[in-house]
């Protein structure tokens, strides 16, 4: 056993807080988590100390289209390494490349390309592991509502059918972990049932559904909601709609873009009071413009503009330039919660949504050694991916 020993001021996970922690790593896995009060640093280990910092699980982003000038829909071999290095700089150790509505041929080709990237990452040598890892695929579209499509091109939206879902699944090599769908569409219930059978987490979003359709989708197996409040029928006290169901149904998890643009800070506070920190998931919905200056950019088949941090296409919000470390800091401020509860939304909660709670989202013996090191202002000091980066 070749041990690395990490020490710091504090360790935070969703379940515990350890002062003067000692975390022992053997390669890509955590083998022990304890305190220096209870155990000395092993003499045969490589000791790395972060004396004024906090250790936390690496961030997970289950809805992200791009960053650092690149997006997941583009062709070429350079996009993923550049984007993944950018994500790691902001504490993200794992993510779901998220597709957008496009011509079906382009979506299928993109799924095949992402699947190859995921398979390659699984075989990559240690020297290549300082990038965030793609953990699966999120398909956002083409099964979306015309009324609530946002910037998704209407001409490429599709009626949900089981054969079409199976084409997407096969092109992805079985790597789809999350699918956004509008439950009111004809054929949606059959597709939701098939997706659940395949092991896909079904997320309700880009939807004009009334509460009945949302409730039926939940009964069929849907258990998550995509960028809550955005691209959804608004809440009405006599017609609660899909949003009323998402906020009130305890079994539903839901994600939210906490950039101060997509959702007002006061409403973010309401969201966290309603869903609780154990059911709320932070996402960025970031585009290729994340980490880049204002200007014109592309996502899939359409162009968008970034000005003063706001991404728009033809006047409609089109994703964000948010980073996950900023989302954690924002939610602490907007929802008035402490760092430990804010971390849930970026670690254990998204891990549970995509079925990886036994591997990621926590710092426990046997879990993947994905760790973010934060200073006392919640700025990223260091990111560790599968034990690499130290």
- Which residues are tagged catalytic? 285
d(CA 297, CA 284): 17
Do 64 and 284 touch, CB atoms closer than 8 A? yes
| 3-state DSSP assignment of residue 319 | coil
d(CA 161, CA 179): 14
Do 91 and 325 touch, CB atoms closer than 8 A? yes
| 3-state DSSP assignment of residue 386 | coil
d(CA 384, CA 368): 10
d(CA 264, CA 78): 36
- Reduce the secondary structure of 69-89 to three states and give it as a string: CEECCCCCCCHHHHHHHHHHH
Q: Within 10 A of 219 (CB to CB), how many other CB atoms are there?
A: 10
d(CA 330, CA 335): 8
d(CA 256, CA 334): 12
d(CA 348, CA 252): 15
In our burial notation (b when 16+ CB lie closer than 10 A, e otherwise), range 13-34 reads bbeeebeebbbbbeeeebbebe
């Amino acid at each position: 056993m070749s041990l690395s020993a990490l020490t710091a001021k504090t360790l935070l996970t969703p379940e515990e807080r350890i002062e003067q922690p000692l975390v022992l790593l053997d390669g890509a896995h955590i083998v022990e988590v304890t305190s220096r009060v209870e155990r000395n640093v092993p003499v045969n280990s490589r000791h790395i100390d972060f004396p004024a910092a906090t250790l936390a699980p690496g961030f997970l982003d289950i809805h992200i289209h791009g960053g650092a000038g690149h997006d997941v829909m583009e062709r070429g071999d350079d996009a993923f390494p550049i984007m993944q290095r950018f994500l790691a700089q902001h504490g993200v150790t794992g993510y779901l490349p998220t597709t957008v509505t496009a011509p079906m041929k382009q979506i299928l080709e993109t799924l095949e390309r992402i699947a190859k990237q995921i398979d390659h990452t699984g075989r990559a040598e240690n020297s290549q592991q300082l990038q965030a890892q793609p953990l699966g695929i999120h398909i956002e579209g083409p099964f979306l509502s015309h009324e609530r499509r946002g910037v998704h091109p209407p001409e490429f939206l599709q009626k949900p059918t089981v054969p079409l879902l199976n084409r997407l699944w096969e092109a992805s090599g079985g790597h789809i972990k999350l699918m956004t769908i509008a439950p009111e569409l004809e054929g949606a219930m059959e597709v939701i049932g098939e997706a659940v059978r395949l092991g896909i987490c079904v997320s309700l979003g880009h939807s004009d559904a009334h509460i009945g359709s949302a409730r039926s989708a939940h009964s069929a197996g849907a258990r998550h909601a995509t960028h809550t409040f955005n691209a959804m029928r608004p809440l009405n006290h006599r017609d609660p709609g899909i949003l009323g169901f998402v906020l009130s149904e305890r079994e539903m998890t839901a994600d939210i873009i906490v950039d101060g643009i997509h959702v007002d800070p006061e409403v973010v506070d309401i969201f966290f009071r309603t869903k609780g920190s154990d059911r709320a998931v932070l996402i960025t919905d970031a585009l290729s413009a994340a980490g880049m200056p204002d200007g014109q950019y592309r996502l899939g088949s359409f162009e968008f503009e970034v000005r003063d941090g706001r991404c728009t296409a033809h006047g409609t919000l089109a994703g964000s330039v948010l980073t996950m470390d900023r989302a954690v800091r924002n939610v602490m401020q907007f929802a008035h919660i402490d760092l430990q509860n804010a971390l849930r939304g970026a670690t254990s909660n998204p891990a549970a949504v995509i079925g990886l709670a036994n591997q990621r989202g926590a710092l426990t013996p046997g879990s993947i050694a994905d760790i973010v090191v934060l200073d006392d202002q919640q700025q990223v000091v260091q990111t560790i991916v599968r034990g690499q980066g130290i």
